[in-house]
């Protein structure tokens, strides 16, 4: 029988190897997503640098100057301190308007109509949105309704005003309480950003338990977080 010849594989030359190897230009760079995925510490470093840059910029802000605050918000519109900068801008507008009105009231009546103080007061007042004033009242009213719901042990109303609480949690809290007196006293102007608001408060609770013992809380500083749903302000959290 004829013997079949066996073909041997020729070794691959350097030229052939370079032909099948991907060029270096398509290899992932040190900052590409592929490398970052394999090196999570790199993302952490980049994020830390960004946070530090914002913190340094915030430390350099002159919180008494509108231009400085506006410049910070322009650079970091969604930064950690952006809400603080916007709140301070609102306060500056209000303080400037009040100051201008105080100056205007000190001007003789006959001169006031044509005074520069009046024109400045009108300009500043026109720049302040009065919509938050109505919202402030709604937010304070929501907090008052919430405390009253606890005082009357109205579980349905408590849950309606603060849906994040569980019904079981509320019932367990009230089951051992004979009477409860809750007071929520705002100590700051609500800070409103769209449909979200935060307000600093003093939170007081006096409880008399079913066993006759009582517990009085003289007052705790607490920040309430509210969200607007369907035109109503609801409590989302307190801390």
- Give the HSE-up count for residue 162: Cα atoms under 13 Å, Cβ half-sphere: 23
∠ CA(119), CA(124), CA(128), 5° rounding? 145
Distance CA 45, CA 35 (A): 14
The whole-model pTM stands at 0.46
- Both structure tokens of 138: 């709604």
pLDDT tens for the chain, residues 1 to 239? 444 444 444 554 444 444 444 444 434 444 445 444 555 565 577 677 878 888 888 999 898 888 888 888 888 888 888 888 888 988 888 777 766 666 655 555 445 555 565 666 666 555 544 445 788 889 999 999 999 999 999 999 999 999 988 899 889 888 888 999 999 998 888 898 889 999 999 999 898 988 888 888 778 899 999 999 988 999 999 98
* Structural domain boundaries in the chain: 61-127, 131-238
Please answer whether residues 202 and 222 qualify as being in contact, where contact means their C-beta atoms are separated by less than 8 angstroms.
yes
The hierarchical CATH code for the domain 131-238 is 3.10.450.50
Three-class SS state of 210: coil
Distance CA 219, CA 181 (A): 12
């Amino acid at each position: 029988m004829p013997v079949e010849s066996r073909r041997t594989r020729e070794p691959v030359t350097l030229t052939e190897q370079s032909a099948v190897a991907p060029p270096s230009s398509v290899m992932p760079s040190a900052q590409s997503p592929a490398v970052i995925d394999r090196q999570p510490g790199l993302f952490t470093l980049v994020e830390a640098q960004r946070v530090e840059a914002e913190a340094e910029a915030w430390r350099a802000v002159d919180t008494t100057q509108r231009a400085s605050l506006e410049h910070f918000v322009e650079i970091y519109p969604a930064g950690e301190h952006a809400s603080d900068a916007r709140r301070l801008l609102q306060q500056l507008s209000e303080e400037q308007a009040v100051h201008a009105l105080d100056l205007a009231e000190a001007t003789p009546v006959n001169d006031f109509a044509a005074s520069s103080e009046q024109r400045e007061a009108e300009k500043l007042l026109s720049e302040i949105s009065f919509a938050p004033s109505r919202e402030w009242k709604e937010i304070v009213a929501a907090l008052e309704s919430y405390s009253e719901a606890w005082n009357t042990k109205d579980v349905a109303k408590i849950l309606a005003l603060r849906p994040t609480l569980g019904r079981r949690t509320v019932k367990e809290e009230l089951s051992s309480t004979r009477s409860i007196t809750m007071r929520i006293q705002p100590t700051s102007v609500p800070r409103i950003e769209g449909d979200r608001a935060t307000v600093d408060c003093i939170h007081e609770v006096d409880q008399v338990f079913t066993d006759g013992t009582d517990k009085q809380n003289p007052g705790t500083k607490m920040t309430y977080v509210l969200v607007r749903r369907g035109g109503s302000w609801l409590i989302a959290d307190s801390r």
